[in-house]
Amino acid sequence: MQLPRLMCTQHPDTTVKITASEEVDEAIVAYTAYGCDEVMVDYEGKMTPYGQPKEIVMKAIRGGIPLGDRFFITVRMPNPKLEEFDRAMLSLEAAFLANYFSRKYADVQAVRWVILPMVEDLDTVMLVRKMLKRKAEVYKSETGIDVGDIEVVPLIEDAFVQTKAKAIVGEVFKGEEAREVRVFLGKSDSAVKHGHLASALAILYAMSKLKEFEVESGIRVRLILGMGSPPFRGAINNPRLVHLEVVQYAGYYTATIQSAVRYDTSLDEYIKVRESIINACCGVRSSVSDEVLPLIQEASSKYRSQVLKHVDKVVEVARLVPSTRDRVSWKEYGRSLLDGERVVHMPRAIVYTSTWYAVGFPPTLIDAPFLLELAKSGRLDAVFNLLPAYRRELEYDYEFFDPQTARRYLGEELVNAAVELADYLGVEARPSPTYAALLRMPRSEPNIIALSKYRKFLG
């Protein structure tokens, strides 16, 4: 069995509203039209019906799709430490019911993996593993149908936790007989908490350390990269940047194909993304030394100090960003930053990213004051050497930066730093007349959708 290369997801990063009832057909189209060999049924902070994996199974069987061979259903469960315990357990039940029906009607195993998000320790992974093992045993003993073993894929999506990925993965897979395991690294939530620069460096460092783990353990790590269309979220789905990102993050095995690249771009643009991801798969991972760790820490600290100055305005505008999937509101299940002893509640990654674009200030530019510090101390070239796509990412985002609009929302300090950085890089910081006109209109949900359609992603 070959592991999947393209994972179609249910991210709400498109301008097109997709209801939960449409997601079953969407999963089939992911294989037939987009060439994805894996679909993620997502329950993390999302109101997905628990019968959805089973419905996808039955539709795939009726359609003659090679379920369990070249097409897999993977469930992303809620982390039981962060969401209600019952939702986590019901999502596991949904995975086993899908396998019960795939075994019963096609004698194949549709679900082989469950993704556990926000992994920071071993305890939650072990809890989920135990539940998966016991449920499998109960199904077999009570129904006579062997639903198969389901493996846990740890999703590590915090920059500081990613710097410890080697130790975490070593603990998770200690004593495993498997010679090949899947590990998921996410960019988006890490970027919200730590900024674009810190999160990008942390992923490169984690990939390098996991290469060391492979050599030392003899276990091959098949990396999944979770990245979207905007640079802040990794840009591996961006038709204009993908050829750079697949080189920068060389060494992945699977990449997510999120919603925006399927619904907001042309088929030709999508094919370019798909082919770039597949053709560059499994390259040699770069070696990144421990010397990068202080830079990650410093970049994160400087980023958070900037965000906390503008958090009230970000939250205000974020309330206007529409949800294009049936998700739990970010007001109930969002992300948080620490401001001393105060916990600041923030939108989730896609709404957060969209919000910064909506105020005329792409979120990669929040790092601008720190990048100027690096430039003045002669350290910026070293960053560009570590991240060869970074300069082009900044040039791309400057196309959506409007100082006039941004100053209305953010004041002078941060905007002036972004202007100064553009001058240093020799980039013209001016959006197209059409985009600038949209930015200078009053902010509303239709206006945010119009801005997003121009960019070809919501956030």
Give yes or no for a contact between 152 and 114, defined as CB atoms under 8 angstroms apart. Answer: yes
Last residue of a domain, one of 254, 280, 306: 280
* One domain, residues 245 and 194: yes
* One domain, residues 260 and 350: no
Terminal-residue alpha carbon distance, the chain: 35
Q: Cβ of 240: how many Cβ atoms within 10 Å?
A: 15
* One domain, residues 243 and 303: no
* One domain, residues 42 and 137: yes
* HSE-up (13 A, CA, CB side) for residue 15: 16
* One domain, residues 148 and 217: yes
pLDDT in tens, the chain (459 residues): 899 999 999 999 999 999 999 999 999 999 999 999 999 999 999 999 999 999 999 999 999 999 999 999 999 999 999 999 999 999 999 999 999 999 999 999 999 999 999 999 899 999 999 999 999 999 999 999 999 999 999 999 999 999 999 999 999 998 777 789 999 999 999 999 999 999 999 999 999 999 999 999 999 999 999 999 999 999 999 999 999 999 999 999 999 999 999 999 999 999 999 999 999 988 888 899 999 999 999 999 999 999 999 999 999 999 999 999 988 765 556 566 665 666 667 899 999 999 999 999 999 999 999 999 999 999 999 999 999 999 999 999 999 999 999 999 999 999 999 999 999 999 988 899 999 999 999 999 999 999 999 999 999
Q: How many folded domains does the chain comprise?
A: 2
Which residues make Cβ contacts (< 8 Å) with residue 290, sequence separation at least 6? none
* One domain, residues 126 and 161: yes
* One domain, residues 269 and 322: no
* One domain, residues 250 and 368: no
**Tokens 């505008």 belong to residue:** 317
> pTM of the prediction?
0.96
Q: Does residue 285 sit within a domain? A: no
Containing structural domain, residue 130: 6-280
Give yes or no for a contact between 320 and 358, defined as CB atoms under 8 angstroms apart. Answer: yes
Q: Which two tokens mark 264?
A: 């907001």
Q: How far apart are CA 25 and CA 56, in angstroms?
A: 8
Q: Does residue 196 sit within a domain? A: yes
Q: Does residue 209 sit within a domain? A: yes
Q: Does residue 361 sit within a domain? A: yes
What CATH number corresponds to the domain at position 188?
Answer: 3.20.20.60
* One domain, residues 306 and 180: no
Q: How far apart are CA 33 and CA 30, in angstroms?
A: 6
Q: Does residue 154 sit within a domain? A: yes
Q: Does residue 186 sit within a domain? A: yes
Taken as a whole, the chain contains a residue count of 459
Last residue of a domain, one of 257, 280, 303: 280
* One domain, residues 372 and 233: no
Q: Does residue 408 sit within a domain? A: yes
* One domain, residues 269 and 344: no
Last residue of a domain, one of 239, 257, 280: 280
Give yes or no for a contact between 406 and 313, defined as CB atoms under 8 angstroms apart. Answer: no
Q: Cβ of 381: how many Cβ atoms within 10 Å?
A: 10
**DSSP per-residue letters across 123-181:** HHHHHHHHHHHHHHHHHHHHHS------EEEEEE--HHHHTTHHHHHHHHTTT---SEE
* One domain, residues 334 and 263: no
Q: Does residue 215 sit within a domain? A: yes
